[in-house]
Structure 1
Amino acid sequence: MNIQEIVEQAFNNGYLTPSMEAEVGKICETATELSVEEYMALDKLMGALLTGDIVAMPRKHFINVMEELVLSESLTRIAQIEATSDSTLEVGDIAAYALNRLPPLYATTEEGANYQREKAEQELSELITEQVNEAIKRYLHRPDFYPERTVIQSTSSPNSGVVKQVSSLLESYAPDFENE
C-alpha cells in the first residue's frame, strides 16, 4: 500500500492501526523523495490525528502471559546449556518456536494476568517445559541457512507517537511546504 491508500483507509476506518503507522514510517524512511500527493496525504493525516477525526490505536493494552512464561523457561534452560557447552542459543528463536505450539493466555488486567499465571502453573507447566526443550533440540540441530536474516526491530521508540513521527517526517522532507 502507498501513503495515500493508508491515509484513505484510516479515514474510512476512523483509526490508524500500529501496522498502518509502521507502513507509513517504512515508506518515508526508504523513499528518497516523497511526491506532493504523499506530503498532502501526510499533512491531512496529521491534521485528522490532531483534531481527533482519526484515532491512533494504542500499541497494546493486553499481554500474553504465555510469552513471559516461555521466556522465563527458555532463559533458564539456555543459561544451563551455555554454562556447560560452547553453544550459543538465540532466545528469540527458541521462544517463538515454543510459543507457536502453546495456547495463548491473554490478559488485560493484573488480576487477569495473575489468574492466567496460576492456571498455567497448574495445568501447562509440563507442556511449556516440553515445548521449550523441543525448541532447543531443534535449534541445536538446525541447518545453517539464511545467515543473512535480520532480527525484527521496532521502527519507533516507545515514547514517540504517530503525530510526532508524521510531524517530524513532514518537517524533514518538506521544511518549506507550508510557505510555498
Structure 2
Amino acid sequence: MSIEEIVEQALQDGYLTPTMEAEVGRICDTASELTIEEYMALDRLMGSLLTGEVVAVPRKQFINVMEELVLSESITRVAEIEATSDSVLDVGDIAAYALNRLPPLYATTEEGASFQRSKAKQELQELIDQQIDEAISRNLDRPDVNVGKEPIKANLKPSNVETLKQVSSLLQSYAPNFEGQTTSN
C-alpha cells in the first residue's frame, strides 16, 4: 500500500491502525526521498490526527504469562543440570519446545497476569514440569548440530551484507545442490 492509499483508508475509516502506522513508517524509512504527493498525504494525515477526524488506535499491550513461567523454570533446571554435568543445553530450544505444547495464558493488566500466574501454578504446574522434562530429555539426546556454526547476527539494517552472507552460507549447507536442480512443467 502507498502512503496516499493508507491516508485515504484512515480518513475513510476514521482511525489509523498500528499496522497502517508501521507501513507508513516502513515506507518513510526505506524511501530515499518522498514525493510531493506523499508529503501532502502525510500533512493531511497529521492534520486529521490533530483535529480528531482520525484517531490513532493504540497498540494493545499484552503478555503471555506462560512464557514467563516456562522460561523461568527452564533457566533454573538448565542451570542445575549444567552445574552437575558436562552437558550444555539451549534454554531457548527447551522453552520453545515446552511452550508449543502448553496453553497460552495472556493478560493485559498486572491483575490479570497475577490471576494467570496463580491459575497456572495451581492447575498447570505439573504439566509445565512434564513438558520441560520432555524438552530437556530431547535436548540432551540430540547430537550437537551447532558445532562449528555461527548464529546469524541480526542487524536492523536491511541491507546488511554480512547477514545475507550468513543466511546464504546456512542455506548452502542445508541444500547444497538446490540451485543446480531445475523443475519442468
TM-score scaled by length of structure 2: 0.61
Change (3 A) 1:90 1:70: closer
1:91-127 alpha-carbon deviations (Å, 9 max, x no partner): 3x55444434322222333332222111111121232
Provide the residue aligned with 1:68 in structure 2. 68
Q: Is the 8 A contact 2:89 2:139 kept in 1?
A: no
Q: Is the 8 A contact 1:82 1:89 kept in 2?
A: no
Q: What is the match of residue 122 of structure 1?
A: 122
Within 2, Cα distance between the matches of 1:16 and 1:107?
24
Give the direction of change, closer, same or farther, for the CA distance of 1:123–1:35 in structure 2 (3 Å limit). Answer: same
The SS at the match of 1:117 is: helix
- Cα distance change on mapping 1:78 and 1:30 into 2, 3 Å: farther
Aligned residue in 2 for 1:89 = 90
**Corresponding letter in the other structure for 1:62:** F
Residue 177 of structure 2 is matched in structure 1 by none
The answer for the alignment partner of 1:150 in structure 2 is 154
Residue identity matched to 1:150? A
Query: Is the radius of gyration larger for structure 1 or structure 2?
Result: 2
Which stretch of the first structure deviates more once superposed, 114-123 or 49-58?
49-58
Question: Root-mean-square deviation (CA), in Å?
Answer: 3.4
Deviation at 1:82, TM superposition (A): 5.3
> Structure 1 65/50 Cα, relative in aligned 2: closer, same or farther at 3 Å?
same
Within 2, Cα distance between the matches of 1:50 and 1:135? 52
Change (3 A) 1:124 1:33: same
The 2-side partners of 1:146 and 1:115 are apart by 41
Separation in structure 2 between the aligned mates of residue 142 and residue 9 of structure 1, nearest angstrom:
51
Deviation of 1:11 (Å) = 2.5
Structure 1: segments with no counterpart, 5+ residues: 153-180
| Percent of residue pairs identical | 66
1-structure distance, mates of 2:75, 2:155: 18
Is the deviation greater in 78-87 or in 4-13?
78-87
Partner of 1:33: 33
Greater RCO, 1 or 2 (C-alpha within 8 Å, sep 6+): 1
Where does structure 2 lack aligned partners over 5 or more consecutive residues? 157-185
Inter-partner Cα distance in structure 2 for 1:129 and 1:151: 35
The residue identity in structure 2 corresponding to 1:59 is R
Cα deviations across residues 160-179 of structure 1 (Å, max 9, x unaligned)? xxxxxxxxxxxxxxxxxxxx
Residues 48 and 120 of structure 1: is their aligned pair in 2 closer, same or farther, counting only changes over 3 Å?
same
Residues 1:11 and 2:11 are matched in the alignment = yes
